[in-house]
């Protein structure tokens, strides 16, 4: 897998406005959907009730929670971007979130992203706005589009 590897924040900041490599495929399984339902207490039948889904859902298969797609952004970005001086990263928020297409169980997703904004945040931190689009294999519309905002803190030893 291709990655963006930077030694430090100074090098990372030079990638503002640039597109990142395309992420690896991640398969959304029923086990993931059930675990997400357990974690969020969101047991809407479209996600977890296999008998009712077969009878009543227009998709005839379970669909993932929209927020499951969003929650994968952190992992997908961490897989693509390595900053060797990074001490830790923290989720800061989301802007302009949309879920244009449902994610059917066993779909494969991958991230298309770019670094939209890089701003200073405290003495040893950065606030990054990532433009993200989560592709569903074989589907024209994305699962999710969002501006994802995170904080990164540099180990300055």
Q: What is the pLDDT of residues 108-128, one digit of tens each?
A: 999 999 999 999 998 889 999
Q: What is the pLDDT of residues 135-156, one digit of tens each?
A: 999 999 999 999 999 999 998 7
User: What pLDDT, on the 0 to 100 scale, is given for residue 123?
Assistant: 86
In order of 27, 36, 53, 103, the CA distances from 31 in angstroms are 11, 8, 16, 14
How would you list the strands of the sheet with 125-136, edge to edge? 26-27, 108-121, 125-136, 144-154, 86-98
CATH no. for 4-27+64-154: 3.10.129.10
Q: What is the pLDDT of residues 49-104, one digit of tens each?
A: 999 999 999 999 999 999 999 999 999 999 999 999 999 999 999 999 999 999 99
Residue 111 parent element (H or E):
strand 108-121
**Domain residue spans of the chain:** 4-27+64-154
pTM of the prediction?
0.92
């Amino acid at each position: 897998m291709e990655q963006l590897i930077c030694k430090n924040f100074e090098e990372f900041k030079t990638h503002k406005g640039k597109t990142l490599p395309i992420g690896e495929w991640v398969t959304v399984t029923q086990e993931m959907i059930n675990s997400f339902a357990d974690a969020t207490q969101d047991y809407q039948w479209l996600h977890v009730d296999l008998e009712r889904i077969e009878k009543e859902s227009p998709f005839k298969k379970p669909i993932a929670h929209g927020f499951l797609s969003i929650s994968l952004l952190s992992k997908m970005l961490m897989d693509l971007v390595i900053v060797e001086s990074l001490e830790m990263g923290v989720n800061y928020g989301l802007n302009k979130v949309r879920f244009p297409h449902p994610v059917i169980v066993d779909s494969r997703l991958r991230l298309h992203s770019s670094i939209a904004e890089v701003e200073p945040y405290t003495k040893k931190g950065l606030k990054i706005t990532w433009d993200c689009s989560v592709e569903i294999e074989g589907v024209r519309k994305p699962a999710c589009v969002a501006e994802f905002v995170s904080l990164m803190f540099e180990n300055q030893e």
